[in-house]
Chain A
Amino acid sequence: GDSVTQMEGPVTLSEEAFLTINCTYTATGYPSLFWYVQYPGEGLQLLLKATKADDKGSNKGFEATYRKETTSFHLEKGSVQVSDSAVYFCALSGNQAGTALIFGKGTTLSVSS
């Protein structure tokens, strides 16, 4: 079945460092890909998405490109801030309303000043 694999955490960085969180997927068809973020004490929030190959999703300085040839959707940010400390989840879904999101395990990012 469809699945998502993302790098194990925790990831610990200093402020202004470059961030990459790797995510690869296995899916039949052409899924949509997502990054969700969970800040402490809050629910998961959609960070960015891409719905077809070569699309780049971006938000709040984060970006990820849908790479069909490598089945990847790596999350990057050029300069992280302390406020980016959170758990990041890669996910995929089929392209129908009401269909399940399939999540990775989540990667904890901790940024220190």
Chain B
Amino acid sequence: EPEVTQTPSHQVTQMGQEVILRCVPISNHLYFYWYRQILGQKVEFLVSFYNNEISEKSEIFDDQFSVERPDGSNFTLKIRSTKLEDSAMYFCASSGAAGYEKLFFGSGTQLSVL
């Protein structure tokens, strides 16, 4: 089965630094998402992206966050100035024409902010 690929699997950064998390969605998918899970808490929605623009975002997704699909295959999440509380597992997902009915998730990037 096709996969969503995320890199790196682990990222360690210093507070205040910028990080970019990378994802390669499944090639014919149309909808792209970022979720995160802080240790011991729920998986939380951050943002969805369709047709080169954000279609929905949560209140977590503030001005420190941005997403981009720079080249038609990658989908990135940028955090401009990381905070300790940004430490979490970040999951990328994509879906096809079925949209919400079936999301395919990557295996996640564990971000640790020191």
Give the distance to chain B from A34, nearest Cβ to Cβ, in Å: 9
Chain A positions within 8 Å of B30 at CB level? 97
Distance A104 CA – B7 CA, assembled complex (angstroms): 25
A residues neighboring B (CB under 8 Å): 4, 32, 36, 41-46, 49, 51, 89, 91, 93-106
Partner of B56, one of A36, A41, A98: A98
Is B108 within 8 A of A43, CB to CB? yes
B residues neighboring A (CB under 8 Å): 4, 6, 30-31, 33, 35, 40-45, 48, 50, 55-56, 58, 91, 93, 95, 97-108
Distance A104 CA – B42 CA, assembled complex (angstroms): 6
Is B43 within 8 A of A103, CB to CB? yes
Chain A positions within 8 Å of B55 at CB level? 98
Chain A positions within 8 Å of B103 at CB level? 44, 46, 101
Distance A93 CA – B102 CA, assembled complex (angstroms): 11
Partner of A97, one of B6, B45, B95, B104: B95
Residue of B nearest to A38 (CB): B105
Chain A positions within 8 Å of B58 at CB level? 100
Chain B positions within 8 Å of A41 at CB level? 107
A102-B45 in contact given A96-B100, A97-B31 (Cβ < 8 Å)? yes
